[in-house]
Amino acid sequence: MTDAYKVLLSSQSINKTMSQILIQEKKRLAFEEICPRASRLIHRTPKTTQTRFVLNHGVTDFMDCRKCMVGEAWGNSDDYLEKCAKCINYSGIAGRILERTMRQRMDIAERFTNHWNKVHSA
């Protein structure tokens, strides 16, 4: 194999790697895109023990596995109960998310977003 051919192969693999990185970056969703109703509540609701809210675009109930932030991300479904142990864990955490400080809420949302993008994003 000539040196010129090695350089060509090397540059093709670099371009492929850069393309993969760009594609991966485009696929990253924000928390607001994954579960918009829950996101609005988490950002705007003062600390409370209330878990059920009726909004213009539907019901969010942090204690209902289909209507909590994880259920919303799964299309208002509880399919994750059979498919993803980490989502089950986040669903349990989300049940009492509004009792936490804003900083704790943002941390949970960020960790869930990272998990969603790593495991479930198309």
Residue 9's pLDDT band, with cuts at 50, 70 and 90, is very low
What confidence tens digit (pLDDT) does each residue in 55-111 have?
Answer: 666 667 778 888 889 999 999 999 999 999 999 999 999 888 888 999 999 999 999
| CA contacts within 13 A on the Cβ side of 73 | 31
Q: Is the pTM of this model over 0.75?
A: no
What confidence tens digit (pLDDT) does each residue in 111-121 have?
Answer: 999 999 999 98
**CA gap 105, 85 in Å, rounded:** 20
| CA contacts within 13 A on the Cβ side of 82 | 3
Enclosing H/E stretch for 35: none
The domains of the chain are located at 30-120
